[in-house]
Structure 1
Amino acid sequence: MIELTEPQVWTLIGVFGSAIFAMNAMMSGWFVRVLRAEIGGLRAEIGGLRGEMNARFERVDAQFERVDVKLTHLDRDVQALAREVFPKRER
């Protein structure tokens, strides 16, 4: 049986420890690289969504402006009719 006092055992412990440390470093590097790529893709998706939302809000604003103009004209017409139907009376 091999005892822990032999140099080959300590060499193998060092080699395996270095291998585990190296694999841990490689996996950390790969994880960071993948994480950065995913965050970049997410930023692109959010940018596209922002553009789409702004376009839709602009269309809604344009529709509200058209409705506002129509209501202004309607208000003007109702006031004109009210002046015709209910003239001001002298007290």
Structure 2
Amino acid sequence: MSAVNDPQVWTLIGVFTTIMLGAMTLMTVQINRTIAASINGLRGEMIGRIDGVHHRIDGLHGEMNARFDTMDTKFEHLDRDVTALSRHIWRDTTGD
């Protein structure tokens, strides 16, 4: 059995430590790259979905404006008809 103070033992300890540190460094770099790629992919997907939501909202906005314009036109006609009826009724009641 050899003692811990032999040069070969210290060389093996150094080689083992270097291999372990190198492997940990490679694993850390790969994990960081994978996480960054995943985050960027999710960010791109979310931006695409948010853009889709914006387009849908813009479409609904246009549709709502069109419907409100239609209702405004109908209310204008209704207001004109009610005014005409009111004039007709009040004219008939005051003439009696």
TM-score by length of 1: 0.84
Q: Measure, in 1, the Cα distance between the counterparts of 2:12 and 2:34.
A: 32
Q: Measure, in 1, the Cα distance between the counterparts of 2:64 and 2:39.
A: 37
User: Residue 22 of structure 1 corresponds to which residue in structure 2?
Assistant: 22
Deviations 1:31-67 (A, max 9, x none): 1221222122112212211221122111101110111
C-alpha displacement at 1:6, in angstroms? 1.6
Q: Measure, in 1, the Cα distance between the counterparts of 2:48 and 2:5.
A: 64
Deviations 1:13-36 (A, max 9, x none): 111111111001111111122122
Q: Measure, in 1, the Cα distance between the counterparts of 2:23 and 2:57.
A: 50
User: Residue 78 of structure 2 corresponds to which residue in structure 1?
Assistant: 78
Cα RMSD of the aligned pairs, angstroms, is 1.9
Identical residues among aligned pairs (%)? 24
Runs of at least 5 residues in structure 1 that lack an aligned partner in the other structure: none
TM-score by length of 2: 0.80
Q: Measure, in 2, the Cα distance between the counterparts of 1:2 and 1:53.
A: 72
Structure showing greater radius of gyration is 2
Q: Measure, in 1, the Cα distance between the counterparts of 2:84 and 2:14.
A: 103
Deviations 1:66-87 (A, max 9, x none): 1110110121122112102222
> Normalized per residue, which structure has more helix?
2
The count of residues paired between Structure 1 and Structure 2 equals 90
Q: Measure, in 2, the Cα distance between the counterparts of 1:9 and 1:81.
A: 106
Q: Measure, in 1, the Cα distance between the counterparts of 2:58 and 2:30.
A: 42
After superposing the two structures, state which structure 1 stretch, 72-81 or 42-51, moved more.
42-51
